[in-house]
Amino acid sequence: MQVKDIIKELELFAPPSFQESYDNAGLIVGNSNDAVSAALISLDITEEVVQEAIDRKCDLIISHHPIIMGGIKRLNGNNYVERSVIKAIKNNIAIYACHTNADSVKTGVNGMISKKIGLQNCKILDPKKNSLLKLVTYAPKANADAVREAIFSAGAGNIGNYDSCSFNTEGTGTFKANADANPHVGNLGELHQEEEIRIETVVPAYLKNKVVSALLKSHPYEEVAFDLFPLENVWNEVGSGMIGELPEAESELDFLKRIKKIFNVGCIKYTSLLNKPVKKVALCGGAGSFLVNKAKALGADVFISGDFKYHQYFDAENQLVIADIGHFESEQFTKELFYELLTKKIPNFAVCLSNVNTNPIKYL
Ligand SMILES: [Zn+2]
């Protein structure tokens, strides 16, 4: 097994292009061609975690938070980041981070939190914009099925719970091949008319190259005519946070007590209770305060996240209850998420969960 085999599965689940601009998800230490025998999964990386990888004979650490976020100009071992990286390199341990890309996918960090709380009918709280394209292409009638099939297999044509979505219209294509051409139909130097199908479908922007390459491979023409248009539509499958419903409404206090237990929170910080039952729950693992207004607009009764600053609690405005359950606590099940994914996809590969509690915050 090579590092890249493990990365492939992680990136099929959480494509790296879904990470935020400030992020540094990906292979941070090591080479993707390095051999790998076992992976250790952790939320954060500290020297203790690297030591654990050494002790448990793991040559890859998969973390949620990237150990390097800003630039590093020196590696002198002057802080825990440098020391962790040096220790990993000296011991031939690769480090891979799956961060905001795992936050953005529906079955990622927030999907896991929703599952733990027992939410139903979950939707992305703030779907990603500018992430869809429209592909229009023209195929000879006899080849339209094969072209459609190829682009669908490459990831085009998915809308919610539907795949193979396209719109097709018949028309006439014209072309005149010059002396250097080798046309699939028609003769050199003669204007040719061909019955064609105009195929329109939707493509996630990150799959553009894959879909175009599938189109070119499956299309019989030497020069394939196709157009890609950026779409204003939001893509509901990818984005920040999650909103869903409890199977049965709970009182605010009962709900918060249950959350405290599920996430083993030392102390939940929350805003005034509104004395109404909790049914709709919005959430975001980690630092999600930027989503409060979205949660309010969608009618959430409670918004669960971490890392709220004092003034941000005022944003509740008696429209919902903000519950700060802590950054670490809210994301703790991400380890389980990576573990479940890898043991399912690569059953013959050893994956261990870190036993180090990396939460730097203690409660008195
Ligand atoms: Zn985080």
Q: How far apart are CA 2 and CA 32, in angstroms?
A: 7
Whether residue 288 is predicted with pLDDT greater than 90 in this model: the reply is yes
Alpha carbon of 331 to ligand 1 centroid (Å): 6
Whether residue 70 is predicted with pLDDT greater than 90 in this model: the reply is no
Q: What is the mean pLDDT of residues 295-308?
A: 98
Whether residue 102 is predicted with pLDDT greater than 90 in this model: the reply is yes
In the numeric block, which tokens belong to residue 307?
């890392």
Alpha carbon of 328 to ligand 1 centroid (Å): 7
In the numeric block, which tokens belong to residue 297?
């607009």
Alpha carbon of 8 to ligand 1 centroid (Å): 22
What are the backbone angles phi and psi of residue 350, rounded to the nearest 5°?
-80, 125
Q: What is the pLDDT of residues 190-205, one digit of tens each?
A: 999 999 999 999 999 9
Residues ≥6 apart with Cβ < 8 Å to 53 = 40, 59, 60, 61, 88, 91, 93
Q: What confidence category does residue 314 fall into, taking pLDDT thresholds of 50, 70 and 90?
A: very high
Q: DSSP 3-state assignment of 169?
A: strand
Q: How far apart are CA 209 and CA 84, in angstroms?
A: 37
CA separation, residue 232 to residues 19, 56, 85, 128 (Å): 20, 49, 42, 10
Pairing between β-strand 132-140 and β-strand 191-204 as defined by DSSP bridges: antiparallel
Q: What is the mean pLDDT of the chain?
A: 97
What are the backbone angles phi and psi of residue 123, rounded to the nearest 5°?
-135, 155
Alpha carbon of 43 to ligand 1 centroid (Å): 8
Alpha carbon of 42 to ligand 1 centroid (Å): 12
Alpha carbon of 157 to ligand 1 centroid (Å): 32
Q: How far apart are CA 151 and CA 203, in angstroms?
A: 9
Alpha carbon of 339 to ligand 1 centroid (Å): 17
Q: How far apart are CA 97 and CA 239, in angstroms?
A: 18
Q: Calculate what percentage of the chain has a pLDDT beyond 70.
A: 100
Alpha carbon of 213 to ligand 1 centroid (Å): 36
Q: At what angle do helices 3-13 and 334-345 cross, to 10 degrees?
A: 120
Q: Calculate what percentage of the chain has a pLDDT beyond 90.
A: 98
Q: How far apart are CA 185 and CA 166, in angstroms?
A: 25
**CB of 65 within 8 A of CB of 327?**
no
Alpha carbon of 330 to ligand 1 centroid (Å): 8
| pLDDT value of residue 292 | 98
Q: What is the mean pLDDT of residues 38-58?
A: 98
Alpha carbon of 324 to ligand 1 centroid (Å): 13
Alpha carbon of 109 to ligand 1 centroid (Å): 9
Hunting for tokens 């918060």 — which residue is that? 256
Alpha carbon of 223 to ligand 1 centroid (Å): 47
Q: What is the mean pLDDT of residues 339-352?
A: 97
In the numeric block, which tokens belong to residue 14?
């959480």
Q: DSSP 3-state assignment of 226?
A: strand
| pLDDT value of residue 160 | 87
Please state the pTM of the whole predicted model. Answer: 0.89
Q: What is the pLDDT of residues 133-174, one digit of tens each?
A: 999 999 999 999 999 999 999 999 999 889 999 999 999 999
| pLDDT value of residue 71 | 85
| pLDDT value of residue 100 | 97
**CB burial readout 240-267, b (16+ within 10 A) else e:** bbbbbbbeeebebeebbeebbeebebee
> Within a 13 Å sphere around the CA of 252, how many CA atoms are in the beta-carbon half?
17
Alpha carbon of 139 to ligand 1 centroid (Å): 46
Residues ≥6 apart with Cβ < 8 Å to 223 = none
In the numeric block, which tokens belong to residue 273?
């209770």
CB atoms within 5 A of ion ligand 1 belong to 286, 331
| pLDDT value of residue 18 | 94
Q: DSSP 3-state assignment of 324?
A: strand
Look up residue 53 and give its DSSP letter.
Answer: H
Q: What confidence category does residue 78 fall into, taking pLDDT thresholds of 50, 70 and 90?
A: very high
Alpha carbon of 334 to ligand 1 centroid (Å): 10
Q: What is the mean pLDDT of residues 39-63?
A: 98
Q: What is the pLDDT of residues 227-266, one digit of tens each?
A: 999 999 999 999 999 999 999 999 999 999 999 999 999 9
